[in-house]
Structure 1
Amino acid sequence: MKAFIAENIKGRRYAELAKLMSARFGITFTAGQMHAYAQNHSLSNEMPTGPIAGERPLLFPEPILTFIRENAKGKTNAELWKLVNATFGTDYTEKQVKQVKQRNHISSGLDGRFKPGTTPPNKGKKGYCAPGCEKSWFQKGHEPNNHLPVGSEVMRTDGYLQVKIAEPNIWKLKHILVWEKANGPVPKGSVVLFLDGNHENTSLENLMLITRAELARLNQRNLIRDDADLTKSGVLVARLISEIG
């Protein structure tokens, strides 16, 4: 097949070569396949480019393409599309005009931003609602099906338990609530540590207040273990390292 293409490509259009290949080998080839093969193997049919008699003409002839280049500045795709059809009596779609601009690197110069002094079309409006849509609105006092009452506990995606403490949707981490109930607010720059590393064990005995600097030392030296006593010892080591520093 490769030898056949090399011998017959010169002087033939890719569509003609595809038909020749299909007849010779009993396999359906397309002009696109022949073109791609020729490009990949540095072969040339040595034929002039552009449409020939009997072939499908260009979708955008040069006069129309030139018109698009000259009139694209400052116009949206919709404006340019309408202008082209009105000028040449064509029936292009807006998408076709947009695509030919992209293929030929034609820019309108518009960036979609509001210019200084421009009045937005929705100024003074709170939004548009189609007539009759208010029938499907939630009524005042409506309670969604997934509503959870105050006191509900939920496991977050990071593995921490949180508790709903107020409506409509106020939540707080459970281990913080437990520690603060016994000791007051967590001081700034401090965190509450799980001594056994289990985020579901929120008993007060498993919680310890440490500074963020101490937490950094614990993480750096892998001193947080699944045993509460070992972690307490790790905290003492972290504090000693900080004092030495």
Structure 2
Amino acid sequence: MRRRRVPYSVEEMEWLEANYKLVISDYHRAFVAAFDRADVTLSHLNQLRKRKGWKVGRAGGRYIGRHRSFNDAEIAWLRENRMMVIGDYYKEFCRRFGRHDISANGLNALRKRKGWKTGRTGQFVKGQEPPNKGKTCPPGKGGRHPNARRTQFRKGHMPHNSRGAGHERLDSKDGYIIMIVADKNPWTGANTRPVHKHRYLWEKANGAIPDGHVLKCLDGDKTNCDPSNWEAIPRGVLPHLNGRHGMDYDQASPEVKPALMTLAKLKQAARNAKKRRSERNRGAGDAA
């Protein structure tokens, strides 16, 4: 239900309009005392001022062109010396005007609000020399402090976990042996690089692995890196040996492994022959 609007007499309205800039609590108290209107609440008078559009505050742009913290002489000095470094800018301002109630951040914020450019970008320019160029660190300071010296690497120092050429480790993920060889690393430029030992030795004995082929361990022991224990087989043979529906070659007995390898190769050869026949038939059908 809509609340009933409180009625006011002409005399009351004249008083309310003449005194609307009073603080709301004083406004209400004075009105009730002057007209004995106990039925009028503070909220009633506040809503009345809003309906009438009586503005009780100061204008929103009242500070435009004015400085709440600085007088004209201070602003003139700050503008003239705006290119000083903020630390010197602040100290000189405080000394000259005795203004210790202002902070360095306050002056920096003033420069930003005014759009005063300092002439500095905070960036190094091409050819700029650092301030410490040609200067050596004093003894006992910085990197020459005894505490810093104790933890510095010496010339020729090798880290405790460095591994030179010939070092081997077992790859815990795949079970292959990783060996460090004295070949230039094509990715990092280092003088050594890690390789799979079985592949490295096989290629030394037999040349590069043919395209589409992979090395298969014949006895199931991946740590046996003798080239004779590895055979380059077509990649398509692997699913027949190790796949989900394969022959479980690695777990088979040594006597059976050669037969399983031969059978897997035959299956792959039959699959390839079937694929070629299908392609020929498709080509003949397209030609017809």
TM-score range, shorter chain: 0.3 to 0.5
Structure with greater contact order relative to length (CA < 8 Å, sep ≥ 6)? 1
Length-normalised TM-score, structure 2 = 0.35
Length-normalised TM-score, structure 1 = 0.39
Structure showing greater Rg: 2
